[in-house]
Amino acid sequence: MDRIDDHDIHILRLLQGNGRLTNQELSELVGLSASQCSRRRIQLEQTSKILGYYARLSPDALGPEITGLIEVRLMNHTPEYVDDFHHRIINDPSVIDAYKTTGDADYLLKVTVTDLNSLSTLISQLVAGYQSVAHVKTSVVLNRIKEGGRILKTPAGSA
């Protein structure tokens, strides 16, 4: 199933908004039978169009947390240095998301840590721990306004 149709796209968008929808609820929203929605959902899962189902947590659900965005520029792009960098960020539980980007930075990392000292340690490990890291630039997230396509905080002055 490499091709998806409008019904599949509708199912994907609905599940992206609420992964807990039942096949019966999907069928009512999409206009297909529950069994058709079930078959389509299974097919979308098996072809990796749906990668998983997750719970979105509040920022304080697991305790105090600081979110940082770290831009990383590499000085050396040899395969072994890039592979080592990828391996380390994949295995670091502080790194929540990692993107290879264009522009001034080679990578953008979204990290979460318990406090500023932990963020400082992580940045030091990035600079000292990776032979090919030339530069890091860090921003601390003050407020989450929109995340995962969902508005989390209404802008000031909006009603």
Residue-range domain boundaries for the chain: 6-47, 59-140
Query: Do 62 and 56 meet the contact criterion of CB atoms below 8 Å apart?
Result: no
Residue 144 near residue 11, CB atoms below 8 Å: no
> Is there a contact between 155 and 145 (Cβ–Cβ < 8 Å)?
yes
- 159 residues of the chain, pLDDT tens digit each: 468 999 999 999 999 888 999 999 999 999 999 999 999 999 999 999 999 988 877 767 777 789 999 999 998 888 988 988 899 899 999 999 999 999 999 999 999 999 999 999 999 888 777 777 888 999 999 988 888 777 776 666 554
**Which numeric CATH code is attached to 59-140?**
3.30.70.920
pTM, two decimals, is 0.73
Determine phi and psi for 33, rounding to 5 degrees.
-70, 160
Q: What is the pLDDT of residue 157?
A: 53
Straight-line distance from the first to the last Cα atom of the chain, in angstroms, rounded to the nearest whole number: 44
Cα 134 to Cα 13, 75, 130, 137, distances in angstroms: 40, 5, 9, 11
Angle between helices 34-46 and 6-17 (to 10 degrees): 80
Do 72 and 132 touch, CB atoms closer than 8 A?
Answer: no
* Cβ contact 12:29 at 8 Å: no
Architecture in CATH of 6-47: Orthogonal Bundle (1.10)
Closest by alpha carbon to 53, among 12, 94, 91?
Answer: 12
